[in-house]
Structure 1
Amino acid sequence: MLEDDSGTRPKRARPGTSLVLGFSEEDKRGTMQPHDDALVVTIRIGGYDVKRVMVDDGSAAEFPLVGFEGKSVTPLGMVRLPVQTGLDMVEVDFIVVDAFSPYTAILGRPWLHALGAVSSTLHQKVKYPSGGEVSEILGNQNMARQCMIMAIQHRPEISNLAVAEGDL
């Protein structure tokens, strides 16, 4: 089976069968199990290979946005960028925020639906139909764990601590 630099691997359908997007025990091969890692990939966005992209099938354009610090985040705007997976290109609207995140970008349901893809954090893969084949985007568990460490080590500004101490 061939794999290109983007981590995608095509699987051809047998003649006369339809493509089925699903996961099996075999799809877990090569992953560290058991785990609770986020699905983090490197993917081509706007013509650049972007690392630390979280695939979140629970995310859509939801307001208000809440950052990793638990505070509401005001969007600065929106930018539409092409996201390339193998030979397929999908235009995606990204909400731009000025807030801490261990992830460079988050791809959610709108991208998955536009691509016709399904994702699995357990199997650390995204599967999507492409040219009569099932292609895969492989997650990077080491990168996911680095992102988790960054989120844990991040220290938000402690502006309310002095007020709380004075109230004691």
Structure 2
Amino acid sequence: MVDQGSGAKIMYPDLYRGLNLKLEDLTAYDSPLVSFDGKVVIPKGQIRLPMQAGSKVVEVDFIVVDAYSLYTAIEARPWLHALGAVSSTLHQKVKYPSGDQIVELVGSQSITRQCLMYAILHQPVSESSAFAKEKGELVEFLKRNVDVFTWNAYEALRVDPSFICHHLNVNPSVTPKKLPPRRSSKDHSDVVKDEVIKLKQAGAIEEVFYPEWLANTVVVKKKTGK
């Protein structure tokens, strides 16, 4: 995770053990830290490791803590500054210059959502605290209503347009232009056809006719290769 509001670079147990680090590899670090839940955490120590982002390698001083976290490590402002990077939590992207081009690191919305659900269901809390009761009630509520959550457009059958609806952000004072048709390859045409059928069956889209405004479809591969 990248925390642009913090100056501390944190390494958690999963990454510490995954790198086969030992206590003797660490240098002393005695300053206590305050975790996201307000608890004071005493670090195990500190270690400097190279961290690669694309073609760039930056030496990072990680503070090693033995505490619960969904993340393996937290990067902070010094790492962003060393790369000359700009990050956006909204878009889950980090961009930085490398030579004569701009390199982009892209996060995953699905993994973020999985982390959120895992945090709700598995974060350890004191069972004697008032929050433990609230957490238990929330978990039971989510379990009882798990059928109302959708993870893709095909599961959101016939969403009421009054709840959410996509509109083209166009200037009504500008005359629309019809692009000349561009022939797609058979593979692209099949992909578009299958996607349209799925979305129509889910009620997410409907057929409309724009005799004066048409745009060619653009097929872009996902990171999964699909």
Give the shorter-chain TM-score range.
0.5 to 0.7
Give the TM-score, by structure 1 length: 0.58
Percent identity (aligned): 62
1:73 aligns to 2:20 (yes or no): no
1:44-55 equivalence runs, <5 A? 54-55=1-2
Which structure 2 segments of 5+ residues have no match? 10-30, 131-226
With over 3 angstroms needed to count, the CA separation of the structure-2 counterparts of 1:97 and 1:159, relative to structure 1, is farther
Higher relative contact order (CA 8 A, sep 6+): 1
Partner of 2:52: 84
Matched residues in 2 for 1:106 and 1:113: separation?
15
Aligned partners of 1:68 and 1:100 also within 8 Å: no
Matched residues in 1 for 2:55 and 2:48: separation?
19
Kindly provide the amino acid, as one letter, of the partner of residue 6 in structure 2. Answer: S
Which of 1 and 2 has greater Rg?
2
Alignment size in residue pairs: 108
**Higher helix proportion, which one?**
2
Partner of 2:4: 57
Give the TM-score, by structure 2 length: 0.44
Matched residues in 2 for 1:155 and 1:74: separation?
18
Aligned partners of 1:68 and 1:151 also within 8 Å: no
1:100-111 equivalence runs, <5 A? 100-111=68-79
Matched residues in 2 for 1:150 and 1:80: separation?
30
Matched residues in 1 for 2:115 and 2:83: separation?
25
Matched residues in 2 for 1:102 and 1:86: separation?
24
**Higher strand proportion, which one?**
1
* C-alpha displacement of 1:68: 3.8
Matched residues in 1 for 2:118 and 2:41: separation?
19
Aligned partners of 2:8 and 2:75 also within 8 Å: no
Aligned partners of 2:44 and 2:65 also within 8 Å: yes
Name the Cα RMSD after superposition.
Answer: 2.0
Which structure 1 segments of 5+ residues have no match? 1-53, 162-168
* C-alpha displacement of 1:149: 2.0
Aligned partners of 2:87 and 2:95 also within 8 Å: yes
Kindly provide the amino acid, as one letter, of the partner of residue 4 in structure 2. Answer: D
Kindly provide the amino acid, as one letter, of the partner of residue 49 in structure 2. Answer: L
